[in-house]
Amino acid sequence: MPAFWNAIDDADPAALATMLKLSAHQSQALDAVLHGPRRLAQGTRELVGLGATPVRDRLASPPREALACRRPLARHHGRRPADVLRDGLLDQLRANGLDVVPCAVETGLSRDELARRLGGFLTDDGIAGILSLLALPDRMESHRPDAAALTTSTLTLIQALAAAGATAPLWCLTQGAVSVGVRDAVAGPAHVAQAAVWGLGRAAALERLNQWGGLIDLPAEPDGRAVRHLLGVLTGVSGEDQVAIRRTGVHVRRLRRAPHPAGTGGERQWRPHGTVLVTGGAEGLGRYASLWLARAGAERLVVTTSGREPGERVESLRDEVAKLDKGTVVESCADADRDALAGLVHAPGRPLTAVVHAADLSLTSLIDETGDAEVTEVFRAKVNTAVWLSELTADLPLDAFIVFSSIAGIWGGGGQAAYGAANAVLDALVRRLRADGVPAQAIAWGALTAGGAGMDEETLAQLRRRGVIPMTPDTATAALDQAVQAATESVVIADMDWSAFIVPFTSARTSPLFDDLPEAAAAIEAAQPSDDFAESASSLMTSLRAVGAEQDRILLRLVRSQASMVLGHGGADGIGAAQAFQEAGFDSLAAVNFRNSLITATGLRLPATLIFDCPTPQAVVAYLRSELLEAEDDADVREEDVRRILASVPYQRLKEAGVLETLLGLADAEAGGARASDEGPGPEAAADELIDIMDVDSLIKRALGSGS
């Protein structure tokens, strides 16, 4: 039976149908079973390393084309050179029932130009999804892949789709940009560059909500089974938006708690010594890394500085290192001076033993406001130097090559598209270095109390409100010391208040990424409204009905007061009746707190997207009024209609239909069994009188013979 089990493993319905001699109808049923929604769970695996880590990503080549599909999904947009991978993929999608409509996208098109081109494809109501092939590698091109250019091309596509009015979700394909285990092919430069799309996509998921589908990584050689898995993911039924398709099935991305290094059995017990290079080592997190290295035993620190740093920061670092009384020497040069840096790295008699890439540049910019300049600036600071150093030190027997990335590259952040993309590339670079035998490690940081790129007091306060608790330098360096001892590819170091973070983060769009973190799951569960709110809703409805014309004024006062309280204002004057919530300063955390306060006040189960669906207090009032009052109004109208209809039916017709006795019996029961006497009113009068006092649902049930 090997052929049978191979067919099962390959999810090949044609082969199975032949072996089992199935009819055409049975074959169709078998195909549905093999390739239905359950396929996503079939090969589920975590795509993260130790603790909280993203999938390992890889690069792809420049964009060329877009593609659009209809059945069973709809349209997709990407690039299509004369390349076997892309042409073959399109052919296989068509063969599996997808109506594929390619849309060519030349390199360098502006947002407006691309929007105009896409507009012609988006007029069809049958479009159910947009699939970008821009990141897939072009085997016909030999130039070095450019992660920044790939980020810009995908960013332009996202912007153009919004400008063109697209409502279908965008899915981005990569190939080998992430890793699901040791069997994956070794990451090359093209794979590392593709990782940028994953970092960008995590930000797009938060800013684009329903217009974002997800990220799908293809195997090196997509076969028919992989394409069928792809179609299953694209349906969106599973809710997964970060997946990798392999021969073993569909793998999903998850964050998990890191075990303590002492319990992993894979400790390397690395201790700094000799010469260590620290990029950005005189400011922010890099400064604390330099001090930790000096305390731990590094004899010489080569510190790079950026053009943004005043020279006195290096002198200040020297003074602090001198106070440690360890004899550590600090040398420095500008990050951009590659010749000087190479000279310090290869200084005779002082071999480099480790690299810590801590240089940083945080740039907050919404997707629609991010352009080539912002992407180039962030990548120059975060990515270019790291890649150059990996090449400069390729022949050196390093003990460690540590890169500092960010949680923005792990789970994304609003306004962090370019920054998240750059950090995701750093994580992928570590994966490639480890494949080459370099003891590399990526450490994604949360927030620190004492500075860092873009970390002023206002930003730190906002982070605390959002559940990202800034760590003290002592806490951070202690965690760093623990993390570097583990033989782990990637780890997150962050102090999280999950109850404050996860509910706002997932309020408008769920994120399965956190499903395996017990603290996050518990916080989400605790935030769900209980069934006890029905009494509150009933009480509010009664109060509103009693005031008649004052209903809107009372509801508006309630909404504005709750919104003002969330914003930190007293009374109801913190926001105008027609003022947009986002204009008043609402962020995702404020949106969740506002919704929760209204749930408590009204007893209603309100949607997570309340302020997006109802962007002003007036709009929220209209929604609340409809939820609280219109259902009951509809029931009143229905009862009046039924009574009017029953009153219009002639007595003889009720008798002929056999319902007269039922109605009279119903009237007797509701009146306590008192039947009119012979001297009393006739049957018609009795029926009319008693029908008027009956509940409509009971009346209908009795009239239809379901009661006596």
Query: What pLDDT is recorded for position 616?
Result: 93
Query: What pLDDT is recorded for position 221?
Result: 86
Neighbours of 238 (CB within 10 A): 19
Find out whether 379 and 359 touch, Cβ atoms under 8 Å: no
Tokens of 452: 């860092």
581 closest CA partner among 602, 563, 601: 563
Query: What pLDDT is recorded for position 533?
Result: 52
Alpha helix (H) residue ranges in 274-371: 284-296, 312-323, 338-345
Find out whether 192 and 215 touch, Cβ atoms under 8 Å: no
Cis bond leading into 72, ω under 30°? yes
- Predicted confidence (pLDDT) per residue in 1-11, tens digit: 445 544 554 55
Q: Residue holding tokens 């189960």?
A: 605
Query: What pLDDT is recorded for position 46?
Result: 25
Query: What pLDDT is recorded for position 167?
Result: 85
- Predicted confidence (pLDDT) per residue in 204-252, tens digit: 998 887 789 999 999 988 888 899 899 888 888 888 999 999 988 899 9
Query: What pLDDT is recorded for position 273?
Result: 95
For 243-258, b/e burial (b = at least 16 CB within 10 A) is bbbbeebbbbbbbbeb
437 closest CA partner among 393, 403, 405, 480: 393
Tokens of 411: 């789970």
Q: Residue holding tokens 């509150």?
A: 536
d(CA 29, CA 34): 9
Half-sphere exposure of 557 (CA within 13 A, CB side): 7
Low-confidence residues of the chain, pLDDT below 50? 1-2, 5-6, 9, 32-82, 263-264, 634-635, 637, 673-680, 683-708
Q: Write out the H or E segment, with its range, that includes residue 521.
A: helix 518-526
Indicate left, alpha or beta for 306 from its phi (over 0: left) and psi (-120 to 50: alpha): beta
Query: Max alpha carbon distance in the chain (Å)?
Result: 124
586 closest CA partner among 555, 620, 628: 620
d(CA 598, CA 89): 49
d(CA 231, CA 37): 10
Helix (H, G, I), strand (E, B) or coil at 329: strand
Query: What pLDDT is recorded for position 259?
Result: 75
